[in-house]
Structure 1
Amino acid sequence: MTLLFIQQVADTAKHLADTAGHLTQPITTQPEELRFGDLLIKGGWVMIPIGILAVLGLVIFFERYFTIRKASKNESNLMVQVRASIHSGNLESAIALCRNSNSPLGRMLQKGLLRIGRPIKDIEGAIENIGKLEVSKLEKNIGILGIVAGIAPMFGFLGTIAGVIKIFYDISKTDNISMGVISGGLYVKMVTSAAGLFVGIVAYVCYHVLNMMVDKIILNLETDAIEFIDLLEEPSK
């Protein structure tokens, strides 16, 4: 009986030891996956103006991009047809061609054709004025992209300041400097800074892309205007 009792006590002790060992094992949990939408929400209220700037910048870029691209289509055929009409003395046909082209170059040439008979300086002035007006139309709202490129990082910096303020406020309330307490402010600080810089960089690139497209159109218009003036001066040579 004594040996049986001792065996039972030993088994019970072993069982208790195994149970204690399982309880003392560290519990490992998989970290919760952070979604992009949740990350944006953690940026706080500063993400609202940054988001508005992002949408505004994209709308302006695509609207201007397609408008400028349409205006930059190759008009070499128009110049050839206008030259042929002028050489044949058919000004009405040349004016109709320019009117139907519905392009910056067409409107410039049409203005010049309507001034035929006046001094060349007057024709050049009329073409130049129309050219400036067409370029102003193409550059419409492009400057807003430059403003977005400058303001978005500033909102990101504002979010950084708001995050730091939140960190110190949470510490003052809890009198605790643990990572759990300061993590909320760190999220605001880092997310808004990253978002502001990203929107600013994209707007900056889009701004210069559109400006380069407009500069290319200006060069083509100036070249075609010079060719048109030379064409008008040919009979007098």
Structure 2
Amino acid sequence: MFLLYQALTDTMQQVATQAGATAKSINLWELIAQGGVLMIPLALLLVVAVYFFVERNIAINKASRIDPNFMNIVRDHIMNGNITAARSLTKNTDHPVARIIDKGLQRLGKPIDAIEKSMENVGRIEMYNMERNINVLSMIAGMAPMFGFLGTIIGMIQMFYEINTSGRFELNTIAGGIYVKMITSATGLIIGLVSYLFYNYLNTQVDKTANKMEVATAEFLDTLQEPHK
């Protein structure tokens, strides 16, 4: 009995040693390469997600930066009746708020409701320009996990087909095949999660910029209703 126990112990130690050696010999890139052909579209989705995140982040950050004294200067020009100087300032300022205020200055002399309507129309255009292509990140967040799951399903089908045709049913072969096929699912989930975080971060930045536009519009309309010099 003791000899049998000793033999089993030695065998288990050898298996554990071999498994550890195998695990250590596989690096990240080799593991990713075993994911199969569907790792290619997953990689493309990741590249697209990173590209649109960087591009939109730069554009939104640019749209959110404006001189804190911009509205004060515009207000001073309006109160002094110097509309030409106010128009010159807004035209030379590359910012959504400046373009909205410029539209309001163009409509001076018309009813306040008409001025507000014109400014809202420009605001909607500016919002569209900021939100453009952000929905691509939302699509990738949904598509990447499905691509990953599809890769796992295809891999499992291939593995069970090989077992069925060869008649070999070995536990280590099945376990190795399963973990390899799960690589695409894990990759798809990671890409989907990253894209989802990108999408929500950019939406938060857009909301902050939209708030600045609304505040500036309200200040401008209030200024128009104050008595001028």
Structure 1 length-normalised TM: 0.84
Q: Residue 170 of structure 1 aligns with which residue?
A: 162
Greater relative CO, 1 or 2 (CA 8 Å, sep 6+): 2
The answer (yes or no) to whether the contact 1:170–1:182 under 8 Å persists in 2 is no
Residue 216 of structure 2: which of 219, 224, 232 is its match?
224
Name whichever of 160-169 and 139-148 sits farther off. Answer: 160-169
The answer (yes or no) to whether the contact 1:42–1:187 under 8 Å persists in 2 is no
Q: Aligned runs of 1:7-26 on 2, under 5 Å?
A: none
Residue 38 of structure 2: which of 37, 41, 46 is its match?
46
Q: Residue 198 of structure 2 aligns with which residue?
A: 206
CA–CA separation in structure 2 for the residues paired with 1:77 and 1:179: 71
Matched residue of 2:37: which SS? helix
Q: Aligned runs of 1:53-132 on 2, under 5 Å?
A: 53-132=45-124
CA–CA separation in structure 2 for the residues paired with 1:179 and 1:49: 31
How far did 1:198 drift? 0.1
Structure 1 residues 98-131: Cα deviation after superposition (integer angstroms, max 9, x where no partner): 1111000000001101111111111101100000
Name whichever of 184-193 and 41-50 sits farther off. Answer: 184-193
How far did 1:183 drift? 5.1
How far did 1:182 drift? 2.9
How far did 1:52 drift? 0.9
Q: Which has the larger radius of gyration?
A: 1
Extract unaligned runs of 5+ from structure 2.
1-13
Q: List 4+ stretches of structure 1 deviating above 4 A.
A: 26-29
CA–CA separation in structure 2 for the residues paired with 1:126 and 1:76: 24
CA–CA separation in structure 2 for the residues paired with 1:111 and 1:179: 72
The answer (yes or no) to whether the contact 2:131–2:206 under 8 Å persists in 1 is yes
The answer (yes or no) to whether the contact 2:66–2:95 under 8 Å persists in 1 is no
CA–CA separation in structure 1 for the residues paired with 2:177 and 2:66: 54
The answer (yes or no) to whether the contact 2:137–2:196 under 8 Å persists in 1 is yes
Structure 2 length-normalised TM: 0.87
Q: Number of matched residues?
A: 211
